[in-house]
Structures are given as structure tokens and as C-alpha cells.
Amino acid sequence: MSEATTAEHPAVVGKLSALDRFLPVWIGAAMVAGLLLGNVIPGLGDMLSAVEIDGISLPIALGLLIMMYPVLAKVRYDRLDTVTGDRKLLISSLVLNWVLGPALMFALAWIFLPDLPEYRTGLIIVGLARCIAMVIIWNDLACGDREAAAVLVAINSVFQVFMFAVLGWFYLSVLPGWLGLEQTTIDTSPWQIAKSVLIFLGIPLLAGYLTRRYGEKAKGREWYESKFLPRIGPWALYGLLFTIVILFALQGDQITSQPLDVVRIAIPLLVYFAVMWGGGYALGAAMGLGYERTTTLAFTAAGNNFELAIAVAIATYGAASGQALAGVVGPLIEVPVLVGLVYVSLALRKRFTRTTVPA
């Protein structure tokens, strides 16, 4: 790592230093707060679910939008061409996300949940929904390449619209039939998936792009980078913590009333996150992508689009179904695990010699 890089690193992390330093504590507190709210206030879950956007509770939708906007406002959109020209990064991301990821989750679901078809189906759906939201937060906290994250998330979004239903049909009906296993179906349309992408990625992406374009035009890049971004930066984590509180408040009863089921669902998820993240890191390091893009590759491979998975599970099987519970457990396991992997990434940072922190 160069001296310039070492000097820049504290400045980047310092923008979110107070939250970043104690992030596991805040995450744990948000989980406990959500469980307490869900148990102490009768009917809170019904009230929170009364208004929905594309099958997702309005408070969760607002939390996701607040969470993603500051990070997307940080993206240097004039640098995106350097990412789109990196064929190694793009091809490896496509392979990890759309070949390895769904196949791995299918295998783990059948290995760990052969006797629980509802949970098994829910996990397979989670594996099909590639991340377009929280991955942006994990990547930014780990000082990954923001521009690369924006491009890979956009590619995942396009593939999601066209491939989610096709892969759902393949992994839930065709492949089990070939293997002599139990078959099921999934009822979703490209338009339903496109709505999820437009809402949870399109809105904050457009807002972030317009903010940078007109902010720099009005005040200049120096003001935008040194004054505006540090002011809005912490709101990404505020949105994350708010989303976690609401998730636990909505699903606290299911989680606390079925702890053994949650544990059984959690085990294959833990294996999945470890294999996908570790595989992404190993592949990026082997190809010489450097720390920032290796980190981005690993987190985009490990994360999942839980809002889409939950919406599809609820729309197809019902809010009280085992498939919906598996979808809910997904982010509840993903959040603390990927927070831990953020710190692992930062610890691995010194092993990379070609490191350039995004401005």
C-alpha cells in the first residue's frame, strides 16, 4: 500500500467514523429494539404492513431508499467507463451471481432442508434474487470501488428482470425433475421484478446522479466532495439501522416463536455467504483486480435482493408461509454476517499492494 493510500484511508473512513467504529453495536441494538417493539406494541406489525410498495412495507421501502441515496450520490459517474472496460470484473461477476450463486443455494437448500419443502423453496428464491440494495452499503463501508459497485448492481438489475423467472422455473421445477426430487413452481412476472428494480434501485440511483451533477455544477466538485457528501454520508447507516428495526418488528413473532426453524434456515445461509464472499475474494485476488474491485466483486456476489425475494414469496405463497419466513430470515442473517465481513475486508486490505481508494 502506498503512503498516499495510507493517508487517504482515514479520511474516507472518517466520514462515517462514529457509526462505523461501533457498527456491530448499533446493529445489535437495532435488532433488539425491533424485537421489543414487535412484542411490546400489539398490532405494530399490522400497522407497519398496512401500506406497501411493491409488496414491501412502506417503512422498509423508505429505509432502503434513505440507505442507498447517500452512497449513490458519492459515485463518480464520470468514471464508469473505466469499469465497463474491465471485462475480467464484469464476466467474473456474472458467473458468480448468475451461475454459481443460484446453483450453490439450490444445493445447500436440498442438503440442509430436505424434509422442509417450504423453507427449502424460500431459500432457493433468495438465491435467485441478486443484490441491488444493501451491497452498496457493505461495499462502501469496506472501501470498495463505488463506481464498480454501481455498474455491477445495474447489471444485476437488468439480469434480474429477464432471468429471475426463468431461473426460478429451472431450479424449482426442471432441475429437481431431472434429479428425481420434489418439484414446485414460482409465480412471478418480469414486470413485477422490474418494478422492484425501478423502485429500490432506480429512484436512489437517479437521485444520486442528479444530486452530483447539479451539486457540482452549482457549487463545484471541491464543495460537493468536502462539504456536502460528509453531511449526507451518515444517513446511509441511519437508513440501514431503521430498516433493521422495522424488519425485526415486523417478523419478531415468527422469529421468536420458531427459533429451531430459524436456526435450520440460518445454517445453509451462513455457508452460502461464506462460500460466495470467499470465492469472490479468491477469484478477484487471483485475477489481480486489486483491493477495491476484489472487495466489490466479493460483496456483490455474497449479497441478495431480500426485498424482491420476500415480495415474490408473499405474492406466491402468502405472508404466513414458510417460504416467506425463509425470505425474512435471509437478511436477518445476512446483515450481521456481512457487517463482520466488512471488518475482515478491512483487515485484508494491507495484503493488497495495488490499492487506490475512491475519491
Q: Distance between CA 135 and CA 322 in Å, rounded?
A: 25
User: What is the share, in percent, of the chain residues with pLDDT greater than 90?
Assistant: 31
Question: Taking residues 193-207, what's their average pLDDT?
Answer: 79
Question: Taking residues 135-163, what's their average pLDDT?
Answer: 86
Note the pLDDT of residue 124.
94
22 phi-psi bin (left φ>0, alpha ψ -120 to 50, beta other): alpha
Delineate the domains of the chain, giving CATH numbers in brackets: 17-348 (1.20.1530.20)
Q: Distance between CA 120 and CA 328 in Å, rounded?
A: 13
Q: Distance between CA 51 and CA 352 in Å, rounded?
A: 47
Highest mean pLDDT among 30-44, 46-60, 158-172: 158-172
Which residues are within 8 A (CB) of 190 and not within 5 positions of it... i.e. 6 or more apart?
161, 162, 164, 165
pLDDT of 121 over the 90 cut: yes
pLDDT of 17 over the 60 cut: no
